[in-house]
Structure 1
């Protein structure tokens, strides 16, 4: 998956958040369980301290002694983890479980009636949870200080906590899996509207729609409006460029006509050579103006149009068959009748006319046109049986003004304009020597779901007529 994928990043951060939340929850629950168990243990120790305190009995009006300790299996087994210690003045009595260990004092004596929870070191340095109580037996100068300590080994508390965590862990894993699935479902449903944006952009690129439009999630509408504004600005700029080219053409039309008129007067005056030179220059200028007009006509909104390749190609070949070079050639066409391309029909006619005319000019006896469709594209190959092109000239064939044969007419703009038309339609051009002859391959996008339209006029025929007139 792409590292820049929004789904991947949101999924990664969401997964980390779920994992962190579960970890914190597990730690928090363990702490809460610890506190609860400790409170229960302290309450039990407090209750047992009352039983230990009952071992004290008054032996006189102001004196006290020890009763016989009750038998409790918890406190009879040495190092059992349950201990008590009773201090009556200097006398100390301990549970049998302490064996010969005395629980230490922490700090000075406390006032009578004081209670506190302590952490003590017990037998074998085992950590103990202890409940300490301070009492006073008797009154006056003969009052005796009493300290009662009841303790339990913390190992039992740790074991309870570990058991709780072991029992909780599977449920946490199941909860994590459920949360991850729910998050992934939410993420998938949440970003699904973005696929609508992707489809709109694909439709824009395919020429099915002219603008992004509305009916998109509110969060992406600003992006859609910016794209539409950008497209509008681009189309307006292209329209302005087209209008400027048209103004230039109209501005040059009258001077060119005047120049041709002067050439006619010179021819009448016997200056045929000078008149012919002016005619050639004027025709060249007119050709450049026409080509610039055709190039300016290539704009974004024309991508919504489609053209049938076979119809356009047959029209081009019919025009060339009426020319001296084309009439002597055998034209072999193999194009599917239903192959429709996403390109303006006039642009396709001009592109096919340029490469077909170039092939006719260099072919010896045959020109072959083949077309094949593959998924969303079509490949058109036009081959001649002429001498081909030098290998070092292949990259220059689409350069403006480049001509392989300087002796022939033309300005060297035909293939460059073909490249511009094909690029504007989202395709590509390639050249290769077919042995013999040159093969020109055009790759153009196919039209999907858009009815093909016929050109408003035979663009290539008009181009040929204009060139012949010039």
Structure 2
């Protein structure tokens, strides 16, 4: 089973991958910044609590032999029950605490003998977590000289709320940054994949015959592929040239044996073996016809590479000739030829192929022959002749259009074999169909590439 992502274009895959990477990266950045901000807020809170602790210790006094807090800290939250900010002093079994603690006693840590300030996360009133800063202090003799433990705490929820607010304020900017980065990544993908789009366009131009080679003007990552395609085209052209040369050599080589057969048939006829001579002559003529056709196809294919034929001009010339023949003079010749059509054929070959079809149409048409030519969606020139004759019997048409069928079998005299040979040699073909009011024969021909200057511009 094929993975559904295989159907996605490279452009969409890269854009999606880039977008996912941007979202993940910014998500991690948001998490990291949030944690850093939370750490910074906690440090600031610890510093403020340490100052509050110093204020609490500075306000200690002795009254009637008992330790008391003569000056309360200025922050009003200390005087509000469960106000979120608390202080506590433990002097032996006696506990002094802020009004905000009410009847709650802050938990104490036992390892504070170094006299330094320590911070902890401890449970507070109603189980709310607290950030506690505490210190063990040796009081001076004026205050009794006792060792006390002083603590100041703030609810940690306020710190978490500050971190959440920071994250909420940061998210819109991160989303905007994500959109900008994704758009920039999409633009980068478009620019980066542009050579691949041009590669497809150039391959299409090669297939349609509007370019001869891929050329060298490619980025270094794509240039090896273009070079290999050009090398493959060169090797294919060389193979085709060799095959054409061998076919031509074979056809030429058969001429002498055929002439010898015809001479042998003449000798037999003079010797009174007329029946044997007729059989040999029939076979020799069939072979000669095949040889002539192969030679014509070889010549046409060899010329087709750089050949150019103006379709409209050739059609007009053939019609002008047929109008002066007995069969064509009485017909209504209608033509719709798109301007600027140039086929990759020699004008003589196109005239012979089209002339064979036109003669056939003139021979079988009753009153009218319609000719049309235009560039079709398959990249080929479609040159069609439609007559109003009887057409071809459906059984014979099916046999003629079957793969591997021979168009010259049966001595039909339709000229289809000649037209098909020249069209196939040029890289096109012949299509036949009954229209209900006659036969439609259509030559499908490759367009000629631009002239040499145009070629250079493309490649």
TM category (shorter chain) comes to 0.7 to 0.9
State the alpha-carbon separation in 1 of the partners of residues 317 and 87 from structure 2.
113
Distance 1:323 1:398, change over 3 A: farther
Distance 1:315 1:280, change over 3 A: farther
* Partner in structure 2 of residue 124 of structure 1: 126
Preserved contact between residue 397 and residue 433 of structure 2 (Cα < 8 Å): yes
State the 1:111 CA deviation: 1.5
* Partner in structure 2 of residue 20 of structure 1: 24
Distance 1:250 1:418, change over 3 A: closer
Structure 1 residues not aligned, in runs of 5+: 452-470
* Partner in structure 1 of residue 441 of structure 2: 440
* Partner in structure 2 of residue 75 of structure 1: 78
* Partner in structure 2 of residue 237 of structure 1: 239
State the alpha-carbon separation in 1 of the partners of residues 303 and 229 from structure 2.
15
2:203 pairs with one of 201, 204, 211: 201
State the 1:234 CA deviation: 0.7
Preserved contact between residue 347 and residue 421 of structure 1 (Cα < 8 Å): no
Distance 1:9 1:342, change over 3 A: farther
State the 1:226 CA deviation: 0.7
State the 1:416 CA deviation: 5.5
Aligned positions, number:
441
* Partner in structure 2 of residue 291 of structure 1: 293
State the 1:223 CA deviation: 0.7
Preserved contact between residue 139 and residue 145 of structure 2 (Cα < 8 Å): yes
1:10 pairs with one of 9, 14, 20: 14
Between 333-342 and 240-249, report the one with greater CA deviation: 333-342
Preserved contact between residue 120 and residue 133 of structure 2 (Cα < 8 Å): yes
State the 1:339 CA deviation: 4.3
Between 94-103 and 2-11, report the one with greater CA deviation: 2-11
* Partner in structure 1 of residue 386 of structure 2: 383
Preserved contact between residue 397 and residue 415 of structure 1 (Cα < 8 Å): no
State the alpha-carbon separation in 2 of the partners of residues 323 and 398 from structure 1.
30
Q: Secondary structure at the match of 1:131?
A: strand
Distance 1:132 1:351, change over 3 A: farther
State the alpha-carbon separation in 2 of the partners of residues 157 and 298 from structure 1.
89
Distance 1:52 1:431, change over 3 A: same
* Partner in structure 2 of residue 215 of structure 1: 217
* Partner in structure 2 of residue 191 of structure 1: 193
Preserved contact between residue 308 and residue 343 of structure 2 (Cα < 8 Å): yes
State the 1:84 CA deviation: 1.4
State the 1:369 CA deviation: 4.0
- Report whether the alignment pairs 1:431 with 2:432: yes
Preserved contact between residue 45 and residue 131 of structure 1 (Cα < 8 Å): yes
Q: Secondary structure at the match of 1:11?
A: helix
Q: CA RMSD in A?
A: 3.6
* Partner in structure 2 of residue 32 of structure 1: 36
Deviation sequence 1:121-169 (CA, Å, 0-9, x none): 1112111111122234479xx9744222211112221222222223222
Q: Residues 61-210 of structure 1 correspond to what in structure 2 (within 5 A)?
A: 65-72=67-74, 73-106=76-109, 108-137=110-139, 144-210=146-212
Between 333-342 and 120-129, report the one with greater CA deviation: 333-342
State the 1:224 CA deviation: 0.5
Q: Residues 270-289 of structure 1 correspond to what in structure 2 (within 5 A)?
A: 270-289=272-291
State the 1:398 CA deviation: 3.0
Deviation sequence 1:315-364 (CA, Å, 0-9, x none): 5567878999x568747251538442332125534542453455456x15
TM (norm. structure 2) is 0.82
Deviation sequence 1:360-392 (CA, Å, 0-9, x none): 56x154562411435765432212343323445
Deviation sequence 1:286-314 (CA, Å, 0-9, x none): 22223334445566993553312233345
State the alpha-carbon separation in 2 of the partners of residues 319 and 181 from structure 1.
65
Preserved contact between residue 309 and residue 335 of structure 1 (Cα < 8 Å): no
Deviation sequence 1:435-470 (CA, Å, 0-9, x none): 33221233445557559xxxxxxxxxxxxxxxxxxx
* Partner in structure 2 of residue 373 of structure 1: 374
Distance 1:253 1:443, change over 3 A: closer
Distance 1:301 1:91, change over 3 A: farther
State the alpha-carbon separation in 1 of the partners of residues 249 and 172 from structure 2.
79
Structure 2 residues not aligned, in runs of 5+: 453-459
* Partner in structure 2 of residue 332 of structure 1: 333
